[in-house]
Structure 1
């Protein structure tokens, strides 16, 4: 009788053990790929007309709401869909609901990023990226507009790639430890550029984002960067980058150039001292590219050069951060993606501050002192000087 009872108890214990094991298996069951996807985003609303001294002063590449009829403007409206859908595949899709596609202020839906990272090893130190993404040239170009202090990227280093993006395939390598450091520089609020590898090599169309190839000759780009961490915790990042290719420009009927395909190549250097609390950031590049010549009324290959320097101070106030900054930029060269490869001579000074409330709202104010010459076949003599106060509210979600 005792043996029978013991057998019953043993059977019950086995059933309970099996049930617990099955329950445990259900708890640790791997997630479906769609359960690994995250959705986030941000939006920026601007007003640039306060204290404006010259309504003819404009900046087509940086912000189309400069100058006459600018008004309130939604500069960006981004939704980011991303995630590791498997052990070796990461996806990233970012549409922009505030894109300008016709030269007016109308807002249209346009793809900014649509790429797929294929990891070549278990640690994901070696990656291949396919699709439309940022071209690895320059620090500020890689830095998200969600993190950048100044409202716009500097002309000299942003002029190589309009919207910073193009369609191609890119190889990235970075040790796992440095990938963690790249992530920390963004998540900590130190205004990092993100993880674009210690070494990058890419082949891309070269006609800028959302445009088809025009000459069957892909651009080639390479970049090497490293964030050094000192014993006191200070992080300093230095970079070298270069690209080469040929670019097909759009011409005005008044342009006397007989060709549209031009050499397009540059080399640049970067140094960033992250604001802990004092920071410094500078980039400079030189090269050759298409540029309109108002004396001959033609577009031709000309030398270009320019860069910027920025000083900032990151100060915690209660639970928020305030970061005042000063930025100066200089650029002498053409902008290949504008009509006739418009010629530019830019001397701008920005004095501003960013107030970050928690992680969901940021407010930035900058006073811009601008001296710009920008000339094409329609306006072969165009020199504008002016000042303006620029305001931006950014919402992170």
Structure 2
């Protein structure tokens, strides 16, 4: 309790009680009691504050725990969704728009029309065409199974709106690195190097006729086994990152069996085609610092099978005495064997590059010579004849064109082929001699422009009933292509 104190005005003495001449000084408490009460009050205040902080921390901790549980649940839901096949499919594609302008030889009266099996828009009418309109759906279903589907919506044979199935296959791997795998479905047949190269990546506008004649449209339905060591996979991926054009991963070694009748066609006999493919990229660092980073890829292929034909009448240009169409000897045209062997060598352009392929063999070929001794009036036969041909190509890669990230690759390509084109009715024998010089300008990843000049000499095989059938056509042409990648 407080104590009242008084002071005497005269004596200055302190009294605890009031009296005459005393003045009240005030009420006083013991110092020790006041400090203790104050400390106790402060402690109570601090305790309350600490309790409040603890309560807030507990609430925040519970909130964070709930948030973590929510995030974990979302991850689990996402993982479950990712396991669904439709969340693993990637979509990409490209479109190629072309314009071909004949310069000479295509409109000369009495001369056969200049046509190419590689580009149906080459003809007596110049104009725009859609060479390819591709969509690719691909994805890994798990560590061992991959799917690939590619339709095409391109101009072909004069049709502006045309759809067809190009690829539909699954890769079944035996290890997570995909060193050993089997490809089942419709896919590219591993014969040649340029045949396997995607048209999205290929430098020249068309594939060469000599190797492409082995597998027109490059695809068929079958089973193919591939072996790709991880070190080679890594090297191919490294070349792709540099902007170099590989043929894709079709194995260092590949073996396959397939129908052999062509893309999107059913088997026509009891004999499957066999194919063996080999290729290997060699780093040339051992040749010295001047070859550091250079890569040379070499390989060889072989194929064998039997191709069926349905005899089709044609106009024989070598029979000057008859204007009627020539029938084909059905007794020898139903099935004929084909055997080929090919070799390739590619020095990737860093910056100068070379590319060459050649193949030899024999296969079913139309012999249009007249046989008047035949009592059945047969004037042509399909028989086994030799074939050979290939190409040589040189190119030079120029990066950062015009001070941008664009790339320019000028090139020149010579090709020749003497042999059957089995993709056409009756497998007519064709003679091809062509030189193409051009430049591809990769403006950016989404846009490419190719300009080329071609001088051609080709056998006309587009119209069996034409009087120009099997005659030679030649001419010069300016060719352009605008490619959109997406």
TM-score range (shorter-chain normalised) is: over 0.9
Mapping 1:106-121, distance limit 5 Å = 106-121=160-175
2:199 corresponds to:
145
Of residues 369-378 and 330-339 in structure 1, the stretch that sits farther from structure 2 once superposed is 369-378
**Distance apart, 1:289 and its partner CA:** 0.5
2:247 to 193, 198, 218: 193
Judge conservation of contact 2:115–2:458 (CA < 8 Å) in 1.
no
1:256 corresponds to:
328
Query: TM-score, structure 2 length as denominator?
Result: 0.76
Judge conservation of contact 1:39–1:79 (CA < 8 Å) in 2.
yes
1:168 to 208, 219, 222: 222
**CA distance 1:338–1:17, change in 2 (3 Å):** same
Judge conservation of contact 2:192–2:342 (CA < 8 Å) in 1.
yes
2:275 corresponds to:
221
- Asked if 1:321 is matched to 2:407, the reply is yes
2:473 corresponds to:
384
Of structures 1 and 2, the larger Rg is shown by 2
Of residues 279-288 and 60-69 in structure 1, the stretch that sits farther from structure 2 once superposed is 60-69
Judge conservation of contact 1:44–1:394 (CA < 8 Å) in 2.
yes
Judge conservation of contact 1:34–1:85 (CA < 8 Å) in 2.
no
**Distance apart, 1:216 and its partner CA:** 2.0
1:43 corresponds to:
95
Mapping 1:228-239, distance limit 5 Å = 228-231=282-285, 232-239=292-299
2:119 to 46, 49, 63: 63
Judge conservation of contact 2:113–2:460 (CA < 8 Å) in 1.
no
- Asked if 1:308 is matched to 2:391, the reply is yes
Mapping 1:279-290, distance limit 5 Å = 279-290=353-364
2:106 corresponds to:
54
SS of the residue corresponding to residue 182 of structure 1 reads helix
2:320 corresponds to:
none
Judge conservation of contact 1:58–1:64 (CA < 8 Å) in 2.
no
1:240 to 287, 293, 300: 300
**Distance apart, 1:13 and its partner CA:** 4.8
Of residues 245-254 and 180-189 in structure 1, the stretch that sits farther from structure 2 once superposed is 180-189
SS of the residue corresponding to residue 175 of structure 2 reads coil
SS of the residue corresponding to residue 232 of structure 2 reads helix
1:20 corresponds to:
68
1:354 corresponds to:
440
Cα distance in 1 for residues equivalent to 2:86 and 2:267: 33
**Distance apart, 1:249 and its partner CA:** 2.1
C-alpha RMSD of matched pairs (Å): 2.4
2:3 corresponds to:
none
Cα distance in 1 for residues equivalent to 2:69 and 2:154: 51
- Asked if 1:367 is matched to 2:453, the reply is yes
Of residues 249-258 and 142-151 in structure 1, the stretch that sits farther from structure 2 once superposed is 249-258
**Distance apart, 1:252 and its partner CA:** 1.8
Cα distance in 2 for residues equivalent to 1:24 and 1:177: 38
Of residues 158-167 and 62-71 in structure 1, the stretch that sits farther from structure 2 once superposed is 62-71
**CA distance 1:132–1:107, change in 2 (3 Å):** same
Cα distance in 2 for residues equivalent to 1:359 and 1:138: 27
**Distance apart, 1:349 and its partner CA:** 0.7
- Asked if 1:210 is matched to 2:264, the reply is yes
2:424 corresponds to:
338
**Distance apart, 1:43 and its partner CA:** 0.6
**CA distance 1:377–1:105, change in 2 (3 Å):** closer
Judge conservation of contact 1:290–1:335 (CA < 8 Å) in 2.
no
Judge conservation of contact 2:221–2:259 (CA < 8 Å) in 1.
yes
Judge conservation of contact 1:163–1:209 (CA < 8 Å) in 2.
yes
1:72 corresponds to:
128
**Distance apart, 1:180 and its partner CA:** 2.7
Judge conservation of contact 1:46–1:392 (CA < 8 Å) in 2.
yes
1:82 corresponds to:
138
Judge conservation of contact 1:220–1:245 (CA < 8 Å) in 2.
yes
Query: TM-score, structure 1 length as denominator?
Result: 0.92
**Distance apart, 1:25 and its partner CA:** 6.3
